[in-house]
Structure 1
């Protein structure tokens, strides 16, 4: 009897999660470079062949947890309401992420999240893979800007590179503060102010994407009543 598609997919998801959980537990305990793929497969109780069917590289065992964010900025730009500029939409999305302590903003002091980020930034191979994510993010955002904001490809490419770099820098600065032992709630006001200033600078450099001048200050006033 053929297994129902839904059940089969759920089994795949559980296997994928079990492999990733086993890998990250080992990496956190012993270090990324000190753990082999064979050891991960043994801990997850799967074969090496099965492991590679789910995760094509050792690095993907870790960074796949950020895969949903790889083209997030492009999705935000495409889904923005009528009348909202790309920079307004991206600014509001990032500020909302700070409010929610979204791990992708770096402003999350949960031990597991902090440990995972520390692992990534202490491992050159994982940092390199995250930078590849940024390249994909830039390409997707460039396409979204040209298709939805009427921006020429050249300007869109430069703007996308700047936006992705700003988001990456903000997240790393927030994470550095958290790793230093400061609670996320304490860091939040500084993180919010830094984000507002960063988007103000982006707005000044890419006016066609930001709309009106002073939008960052207006947004801040709205957020604080």
Structure 2
């Protein structure tokens, strides 16, 4: 019979190794990655509207039919890496310690995501290409509209993660959706300001994200006036001078 003592010294069995994808799966992944990279290169150099599915397929020397095996259309390939980044953020949020208040958990999760983003993105496309595509989305009306639409779905998912973390019913308590709406608004402002600025590095957007998130509390609860309201509403009568 095994005792606590013998169990403590018994060798631990290593978990079984993760099966390596077969040759067919690796070839499919290489084709998908090549299509994705070619699409982002074309979108960022020639423009999203000017690039066709045929252009993307031709760049990889495959047929249009092959493209549609991997992506339903241009929009899906344009947002493929962004979808991966957002999923990376949701995983970071789920991993935050339970004692953190909701807004702090959101803040820490997004900054941690930026810190570990390079490796995650680089497994698919160069980080520099992803950042260029981020700016292309911000500057292309059709992509920006799609981004805002997709962001609504993503924010709903985040609100539900936040509600579950806090033990709340997301449909009965408005706070998770309100918190995520404020957070999402800050992220949209950050992306817009970063894409129009001079520092277009990952470090630049991370620093801007941290600075803007730190201003949410003071912006919502503080006074913004730099002049005396009474002086503006009751100006001195020149005849009284």
* TM-score, length-scaled by structure 2: 0.66
Q: Does the Cα contact within 8 Å between 1:72 and 1:137 map onto a contact in 2?
A: no
Deviation digits for residues 131-187 of structure 1 (CA, Å, limit 9, x no counterpart): 23311211111211221202342332222222222222223323322xx35767678
Q: Which residue of 2 aligns with 1:165?
A: 185
* Match in the other structure for 2:151: 134
Aligned residue pairs total 193
1:146 to 132, 141, 163: 163
- Cα deviation for residue 21 of structure 1 reads 1.7
Match of 1:22 in 2: 38
Unaligned runs of 5+ in 2: 1-19, 120-126, 222-241
Does 2:232 correspond to 1:193?
A: no
Q: How far apart are 1:16 and its partner, in Å? A: 0.5
Tell whether 2:194 aligns with 1:174.
yes
Q: CA deviation at 1:28?
A: 2.7
Q: Would the aligned equivalents of 2:35 and 2:67 in 1 still touch at CA under 8 Å?
A: yes
Change (3 A) 1:70 1:201: farther
Alignment of 1:49-128 (within 5 A): 49-97=65-113, 112-128=129-145
Higher relative contact order (CA 8 A, sep 6+): 1
**1:74 & 1:188 partners in 2: Cα distance?**
17
Task: Select the structure of larger CA radius of gyration.
Answer: 2
Unaligned runs of 5+ in 1: 104-109, 205-225
Range that drifts further, 148-157 or 47-56: 148-157
Partner SS for 2:24: helix
How far off its partner does 1:101 sit? 7.8
Change (3 A) 1:183 1:27: closer
Alignment root-mean-square deviation, CA: 3.2
Which structure is higher in helix share?
1
Could you say if the C-alpha distance between residues 73 and 42 of structure 1 is closer, same or farther in structure 2, counting changes exceeding 3 Å? closer
- Three-state SS of the structure 1 residue aligned to 2:215 is helix
Q: Take 1:46 and 1:187, find their aligned partners in 2: how far apart are those partners? A: 36
**Equivalent of residue 34 in structure 1, options 36, 40, 50:** 50
